[in-house]
Amino acid sequence: MKINRRAQQRTVEIVSNKKVGAYHHMIFAVGDMALHALPGNFVAISVGGPGSAMVLRRAFAIYRTHDRGNYGGTLELVVAPHGQGSKWLSALPMHATVDMVGPLGTNFGIPTEPVNALLVGGGYGSAPLFGLAELLKDGGSRVDMVLGASSAGKIYAPLEGKRAVNSMTITTDDGSAGTKGQVVSVLPGLIERHNVDIIYSCGPMAMLAAIQGIATQTGIMHQCAVEESMACGIGVCMTCVVPLRDEAGVIKMSRSCIDGPVMDGANVIWNSGGKIPAGTYGAPNV
């Protein structure tokens, strides 16, 4: 098993930090770290500065990378300033440096032949889907995208992102943009209209679980980037586990930083309700 094979630890400089709606779009000069990143991968950043009381890294899905350009390799994140760590990071000025480890985790699998792909993003979970859309289009696939959030300000849909897809559908819980409702409500129609072969998703676990429900019904492949709180991002703390069926069909508590974040939605045990699912490898006898 490849573990952290492409990961490096590096001090990287902020070359851009712009507020976009509820988020910050940040660009870092990362040298050759950019060369190895694929859509679905993430980075783990140290927050608070030296001597900080925040001892754990924060994980962020990679939005985009470029391996050339004015700054050499660059890597971009869409940061939601939610907790202490992400607030500290998004407030940093140009030229500040951070300690970054990456790229980490599994990536979205790209099919060898053209397919009809449906990309579904929740909130800032849309970010890694744009790089994926470009790769799929380059391979001749059709790409339809659905982005959902609680309100318009929480949708991340940059203009250049819209150009990379055949169609873009927006949903908001409060109706402030696009269709009022949750993303799952528009999926069956899109799946039928565009003869969708595969769904790629990134966003809150409840959304991913609902998408898997539809994927199971329609028999479509579903690759999702799961989100479970992380401490280290490199597979040593055993914090970020998700119950996942392996090739032999055995459910194991699997690290979303090593066996994910991108997982086959059909193998994830959803909605286990704060319990170890029955039959999990090593589960206590009840």
Partner 1 sequence: MRQMSNFNYSTNFQNALFPNPIFTASGCAGSGKELAQFFPLGEIGAVVTKSIMIKARSGRPTPRMAETPSGMLNSIGLQGPGIDQFIAEDIPFLQKAGARIIVSIAGESVDDYGSLARRLRGVPGLSALEVNISCPNVENRGQVFACDPIASRSVVEVVRRVLGGELPIIVKLSPDVTDIVAIANEVISAGADGLALINTLLGMVIDVDTMRPKLGGKTGGLSGPAIRPVAVRAIYQVHQAFPRIPILGMGGVASGVDALEMVLAGASGISVGTATFGNPNAVIKIKEELANLLIERGFATFKEAVGFAHRSENAE
Q: Which residues 6+ apart lie within 8 Å of 56 measured at CB? A: 85, 231, 232
**Per rule CB under 8 A, is residue 173 in the interface with partner 1?**
no
Least distance (Å) between residue 259 CB and partner 1: 12
Among 152, 241, 266, 269, the residue binding partner 1 under the rule CB under 8 A is 241
Instruction: Provide the 3-class DSSP secondary structure of residue 15.
Output: strand
Least distance (Å) between residue 158 CB and partner 1: 31
Query: How are beta strands 167-172 and 74-79 bridged, if at all?
Result: unpaired
Among 101, 157, 187, 211, the residue binding partner 1 under the rule CB under 8 A is 101
Integer angstrom CA distances of residue 80 from 59, 168, 198: 11, 22, 28
Contact 261, 42 (CB under 8 A): yes
Write out the binding residues for partner 1, residues 39-78 only, by CB under 8 A. 46, 53-57
**Per rule CB under 8 A, is residue 11 in the interface with partner 1?**
no
Among 21, 31, 71, 99, the residue binding partner 1 under the rule CB under 8 A is 99
**Per rule CB under 8 A, is residue 5 in the interface with partner 1?**
yes
Among 61, 232, 244, 263, the residue binding partner 1 under the rule CB under 8 A is 232
Integer angstrom CA distances of residue 157 from 62, 105, 170, 240, 247: 15, 24, 9, 28, 36
User: In this chain, which stretch among 32-40, 140-148, 194-202, 230-238 interacts with partner 1, using CB under 8 A?
Assistant: 230-238
**Per rule CB under 8 A, is residue 91 in the interface with partner 1?**
no
Least distance (Å) between residue 3 CB and partner 1: 5
For partner 1, which is the closer residue by CB, 138 or 246?
Answer: 246
As a whole number of Å, the CA-based R_g of the chain is 19
Integer angstrom CA distances of residue 50 from 46, 91, 98: 9, 16, 10
- Residue 167 tokens, joined: 């169609």
For partner 1, which is the closer residue by CB, 219 or 284?
Answer: 284
Write out the binding residues for partner 1, residues 188-217 only, by CB under 8 A. none
